């Protein structure tokens, strides 16, 4: 399941380059092009889902795999404290409509974020 207009689907297909950190059967993790913290990695599922709600409804086990991969990224990057962020919808800041989890760390993160 892919969307030919989706930049993240194009990364998965090898049509757009990415600085891949790690991957699993469930997803791929790569560095964000516009990092908001010293460590800013995006974790995406291999299947195209518009957002976390869509994947939770259709493939909850796969969604768990995406979050497991995100936790693996934090460990791989040596983060003892980190934030995972998933935006759903344009008013929440989602700009690419393929589910992605931001893994942010390497500095103190304030709250609320925005």
Question: Which active-site residues does the annotation give?
Answer: 100
One-character DSSP codes across 55-89: HHHH-HHHHHHHHHHHHHHHHHTT-SSEEEE---S
What the block records as the tokens of 87 is: 């935006």
């Amino acid at each position: 399941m892919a969307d030919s207009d989706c930049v993240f689907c194009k990364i998965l297909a090898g049509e757009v380059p990415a600085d891949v950190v790690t991957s699993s059967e469930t997803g791929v993790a790569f560095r964000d092009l516009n990092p908001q913290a010293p460590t800013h990695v995006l974790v995406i599922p291999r299947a195209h889902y518009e957002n976390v709600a869509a994947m939770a409804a259709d493939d909850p086990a796969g969604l768990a795999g995406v979050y497991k991969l995100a936790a693996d990224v934090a460990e791989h990057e040596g983060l003892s404290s980190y934030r995972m962020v998933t935006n759903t919808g344009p008013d929440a800041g989602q700009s690419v409509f393929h589910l992605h989890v931001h893994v942010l760390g390497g500095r103190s993160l304030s709250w609320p974020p925005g």
